[in-house]
Amino acid sequence: MRLTAAVRQQLLDQNEGFKKTIPTRQKNLTMDTTYRIASGQLYISTSGKTSWADSRFSEPEAPATPEQTHRFLYAYQHLLNTDGL
């Protein structure tokens, strides 16, 4: 499926309420990135910690850029409702 702007918007509209949390575990980093589709847009928030004692971080939810949206939809289209596309 080709992810044109119209197809991306239709996917976002069809998958209202979809939420996916992706954990990242590395030697000195533990991070969770949460993707949420709402109001026809993709939102991203990140939280985690590093190996330093005072290194917890939490970034508030923000709208994804068109490039981030495209990459997310391409990578996880198998989990989304693609009926009628």
> What pLDDT sits at residue 77?
93
Domain residue ranges of the chain, discontinuous segments joined by +? 5-77
User: For tokens 């991070």, what's the residue?
Assistant: 31
Specify the length of the chain in residues. 85
Is the pLDDT at 30 greater than 90? The verdict is: yes
Q: Give the pLDDT mean for 74-84.
A: 93
Please tell me the pTM assigned to this model.
Answer: 0.89
Task: Convert the pLDDT of each residue in 31-73 to its tens digit.
Answer: 999 999 999 999 999 999 998 888 899 999 999 999 999 999 9
Residue 23 — φ and ψ, nearest 5°?
-80, 145
